[in-house]
A and B are shown apart, each in its own frame.
Chain A
Amino acid sequence: QSFLTQPPSASGASGQTVTIFCSGSSSNIEFNTVNWYHQVPGTAPKVLIFADSRRPSGVPDRFSGSKSGTSASLAISGLQSDDEGDYYCGSWDATLNGPVFGSGTKVTVL
């Protein structure tokens, strides 16, 4: 049972844009920044977005994040086969007094 809720799956054709949503609460997303991670099965997650919308060095600008209220979203434009995998949102939770993760969204490129 995750603190942050995500749809289990999302898909899009190669080259198109897919958007993933993450729903939280006033204990986490509303007053703390959101991060997004990409995980290929069998490997560790890798950060794509931190502080709601900032990209670490090396992450292409096809990935963009935004936040409003208790929800956040990640948009992937120009979808590529390498983008397949699981995407997780994350934030700090004031009740837990620690970081929390979303339930994960599996992205498939059609």
Chain B
Amino acid sequence: QLQLQESGSRLVKPSQTLSLTCGVSGGSMIRTSTSWNWIRQSPEKGLEWIGSVHHSGITHHAPSLKDRVAISLDQSKRQFSLTLKSVSAADTAVYFCASALNYDDYYYFDNWGHGLLVTVSS
């Protein structure tokens, strides 16, 4: 079974860039039916999908974050990454990385990292 682990800065200053990495172990990252996702959770907004990357390199982002988000994949390092620019206090949340299975008739998150609390504060 896949294991995912988030790492990165837990404290980011307002207007700066949040950078997180998700390490993947226990399985292949080259799976046609799988996308690699970032999701965040806060008391104000609940669970919020940020975006995804496929092993082909194709990315998708939530429209509300699209201008600030970049997600990339490095299969040689077995990891994928998130950068979120120009952060504010509203970006304070627990950030999860997760794999999603995507077939014709379903799409769901089957493996999750433990989550990393990122606080935006000066």
Contacts and interface: CB of A to CB of B under 8 A. Distances in A.
Contact of B60 (A44, A50, A98): A98
Contacts of A92: 107
A44 B110 contact: no
B105 A101 contact: no
B63 interface: yes
Contact of B96 (A44, A54, A100): A44
B68 interface: no
Interface in A34-53: 35, 37, 43-47, 50-51
A32 B108 CA distance: 11
Contact of A51 (B49, B98, B105): B105
B77 interface: no
B40 to A, nearest CB: 11
B93 to A, nearest CB: 13
Contacts of B49: 96, 98-101
B62 A96 contact: yes
Given A96-B63, A98-B60, A98-B62, A45 B47 contact: yes
Contacts of B105: 33, 51
Contact of B110 (A32, A33, A56): A56
Given A44-B96, A44-B115, A46-B112, A99 B46 contact: no
A46 B113 CA distance: 10
Interface in A83-110: 88, 90, 92, 96-104
B13 interface: no
Interface string B27-51: 0000000000000000001111101
B71 to A, nearest CB: 12
Contacts of A68: none
A96 B101 CA distance: 18
Contacts of B110: 47, 56
Interface of B: 45-49, 51-52, 60, 62-63, 96, 98, 100-101, 105-110, 112-115
10 contacts: A35-B109, A37-B109, A43-B115, A45-B96, A46-B112, A47-B109, A56-B110, A99-B100, A99-B107, A101-B47
